Amino acid sequence: MPAQHFSTRASAALRLGRHTGVRAEHTIANDRISGFPTVEAQIASVVLQRQLSGSENATMTFTERQLGATGSLTRSHVLTLGWSRQVMPGVHFEVKAGPRLSNDGTAGPEVWL
């Protein structure tokens, strides 16, 4: 068995008003590579999004991640605030940042560009 990858993703969205919406997502992934431990991941997120203009959005996202490899499990909780802009058709810029707390008690920054 050289390599196997399985993943599934589900999401649901709800409009809360003309410019505001909420979205929930859940992803499960499993990777197997011959000679390496199996890696499993589950990621669940809830995103509150507000349209600021025709090309800009603001988001607040809460994410829980659970990553496991044979015999070990890491869980983290992340709260990010984000801003995105559609620069031109096909070009999108997004930045998100916030704190991450892991099950081992460590805290650190989470930054996405």
Q: Check residue 7 and give its pLDDT.
A: 95
Q: Model confidence at 109, in pLDDT bands (50, 70, 90)?
A: very high
For the stretch 76-106, pLDDT in tens is 999 999 999 999 999 999 999 999 999 989 9
For the stretch 10-57, pLDDT in tens is 999 999 999 999 999 999 999 988 888 889 999 999 999 999 999 999
Question: How many CB atoms are located within 10 Å of the residue 62 CB?
Answer: 14
Phi then psi for 64, rounded to 5 degrees?
A: -120, 130
Q: Does the pLDDT of residue 1 top 80, yes or no? A: no
Q: Does the pLDDT of residue 69 top 90, yes or no? A: no
Q: Check residue 10 and give its pLDDT.
A: 98
CA-nearest of 81, 82, 109 to 94 is 82
